[in-house]
Amino acid sequence: MIKGYVISSTDHKPAEFANVILMQLPDSTFQSGVITYTEGDYTIENVKPGKYFIKSSFVGFEDNGTEIEITGDKEVFIADTIYLSENTKELGEVAVKGDMIRSTELVDRTVYTIPPEIAKTSTNGFEVLRKIPSVQVDFNNNVTLNGKSNFIIQVDGKQRDKEFLARLMPEDIQSVEVIHNPGAKYDGTIDGVINIVLTKEARIGISGNVAGMIRPAEDPSGYVAGGIDYGREKITFYASGYTFFQGLNNRTTNFNRFLGNGAPDSTINNEGNGDFGIVASSINTGFDYYLNEKNKLSLNVNYKPTTFLNNLENIGKIHDGNSIAHNQYYQSDNETRSDEVNISLFYKKEFEKPIQELTIETSAYLFNSLDKKKFNSRLEQTDGTLVYSYPYNENVNNDRNYLSAKVDYVHPLGNKIRIETGYQFYFQKMKYDFLNSIDVLSNLYEYTEYRNAAYAGFILNLEKYSFQASFRTEYSDIEVNKEIKNDYYTFLPSANIQYKINKSNNLKFTY
């Protein structure tokens, strides 16, 4: 029996459904032929002792193979991994008729391949996601998966903020992986994962994009966005950002009539004027450093400041009959400023054995917002005599910080099984401080959580069936206002079963 792997030399991904044939040397007589499975693995049975050549071929790749010798002293012979290189040819004339996104259903995810024709009709990563089934992107670039927003976005396995998608060039996107039933590797609170896989060539050269729109009318609004990538063979630097602003003028007019004993009693005529403004920005920068083909290091920093201003001044005249009896004044000023910082450091090590890899990721999140509200209402007689005044001030300080560190390891067992295991540490601290001019309403809320999680799982790929099962356990220690304490365990099993009816149809069961 002969076992081995067929891997793409471009991105080191398994070559699924590649042809593998066994030829006897020296005359290259055909002996047997098989097709690789999901993990790029193959098995050739009933092989007699002798010298052979194993040849693999796949559409769009150059043929490659390896020479072996079966001596008969081993029941299972492990052949060297076959690496396939992309086959590029220069054509004199090409007629393009269009293409569509093609999907490959795996036991734990769905992989959508992005053809060049689709990339050319897109401007950034958001545009590509709009073409992926089950992914929705609205006009404000808010992304949902099956209508849900509780999911994570990854780029080459590294968790990223959605603003990172704006810097991605569509032609650099090789495929999009969608996980609808995340296994134990992921946090138990998420409902899905979108992982964007980039081509290897995306890290070499310089590229960028810029876009903007300004409406210099009475109520100005607009945005400007751009990004640049500069990559050498081993390192890529990138920076991107956007700023959105909008200003509006608030004008209000209303008239109220009050009745007493069925007859008009008094009226109030109000007129107000104010301003509304918002400025929201995002800056994303970092680098990807390829120490060698097996070791990669990435740093990403995202900063998002936001400012919101809203003020209104209202004057009301209270008529008693045909004369003005009182003047009513109302004034409000609202100001909200927030800062959000997300820092992520990612390391990935690939081993000589295909699929075997180790990843380490740490991330820190810092958020602070301050909401200031000033309100004043007063009633005066027509001669300026004060009847009553009600001033009110309110400040709300909101802090949310967390630190996460996790280690994931994948190890293949033979050609059909791979095991996954990992550990995650999570620390979260939230503080909500509410202060106002009425002390009895002031409140301070503090929340602290320590969480430790570990998981293990496996994937088994057979000719017609594929199985994925995993188990995650979490221990949380929570403290509220330094008075209330609670700790508990959570157990999170998950499973997927896939039956391949043929190359175009399959059934999948998830738990």
Every domain of the chain and the residues it spans: 2-84, 102-201, 204-397, 414-511
The tens digit of pLDDT for each residue in 344-362 reads 999 999 998 888 999 999 9
Q: Which residues contact 3 (CB under 8 A, 6 or more apart)?
A: 41, 42, 43, 44, 76, 77, 78, 79, 414, 415
Would you state the pLDDT for residue 91?
Answer: 47
Q: Which helix (H) or strand (E) covers residue 126, if one does?
A: helix 125-130
CB 314 within 8 A of CB 271: yes
Closest CA to 299 of 387, 239, 247, 226: 239
Q: Out of 15-24, 263-272, 352-361, pick the least confident.
A: 263-272
Residue 97 pLDDT exceeds 60 = no
Helix, strand, coil % (nearest 5) of the chain? 5, 65, 25
**Rounded Cα distance, 222 and 34, in Å:** 58
State the average pLDDT for the chain. 85
Answer for the pair 354, 16: CB distance below 8 angstroms, yes or no.
no
Considering the entire predicted model, what is its pTM?
0.70
pLDDT of 86 higher than 80:
no
Span 48-75, average pLDDT: 84
Q: What SS3 string covers 104-120?
A: EECCCCEEEECCHHHHH
Return the ∠ at Cα 43 (arms to 41 and 47), rounded to 5°: 150
What is the pLDDT at residue 467? 93
The stretch 465-482 carries a mean pLDDT of 93
Amino acid 173 reads I
Say if residue 479 is exposed, middle or buried (CB neighbours under 10 Å; 0-12, 13-18, 19+).
Answer: middle
Strands 295-320 and 50-57: unpaired
Percentage of the chain exceeding pLDDT 90:
30
Distance CA 356, CA 455 (A): 17
Q: Looking at domain 102-201, which of 3.40.1350.10, 2.170.130.10, 2.60.40.4070, 3.90.79.10 is its CATH number?
A: 2.170.130.10
- Counted residue by residue, the chain has a size of 511
Which tokens go with 30? Answer: 């055909």
Domain 2-84 has CATH 2.60.40.1120: yes
Tokens of 48: 């007699």
Residues 453 and 151: their CA atoms lie apart, in Å, by: 19
Distance CA 284, CA 160 (A): 10
Q: What is the 3-state secondary structure (H, E, C) of 147-178?
A: CECCCEEEECCEEECHHHHHHCCHHHEEEEEE
Residue 458, amino acid: F
DSSP 62: -
User: What is the percentage of the chain residues whose pLDDT exceeds 70?
Assistant: 93
| C-beta separation of 475 from 459 below 8 A | no
How many angstroms separate the most distant Cα atoms in the chain?
A: 115
Q: Is 204 or 145 the better-scoring residue by pLDDT?
A: 145
Q: Phi then psi for 480, rounded to 5 degrees?
A: -120, 120
β 64-70/50-57 pair status: antiparallel
